[in-house]
A = this chain, B = another copy of it.
């Protein structure tokens, strides 16, 4: 009885055109922010010769390495079709190693090279630099993060 009540809530309580505007605004806002963030990170990451998605992969690896491709994929919500060539580029530029798991030759283990480890220190100042560019007080950032995370939780249930 609760399963699809939000339908009724959404559909019945306000007129549909209002809902339409609201939803479009929300999705569009996410689209805009995501692209804007990528553009903001670009110049900051350029000295490290990383793109923004590559930086995200490195962040995950700096937290714990080595990891399997599948782990990276689910952690980042990245498709293999995206992740595969991305990791290969990181390998070609010497930040990452790709080795088959001897236990299970299907699996690919992604590890950090010395250069990949070293990059971590070079990247250490980036979050502060970005947060200064964004220029919002910390409590506001926390509020946004929590709202976005709640939303992410809601929609990633549907994806399964």
Contacts and interface: CB of A to CB of B under 8 A. Distances in A.
Interface in A14-34: 14, 16, 19-20, 22-34
A152 B31 CA distance: 10
Contacts of A41: 27
Interface string A121-151: 0001001101111111110111111011111
B20 A128 contact: yes
Given A4-B132, A144-B150, A138 B24 contact: no
B156 A29 contact: no
Interface string A36-72: 1111110000000000110010010000000000000
A6 interface: yes
B149 A23 contact: no
Interface of A: 4, 6-7, 9-11, 13-14, 16, 19-20, 22-41, 52-53, 56, 59, 76-78, 124, 127-128, 130-138, 140-145, 147-152, 154-159
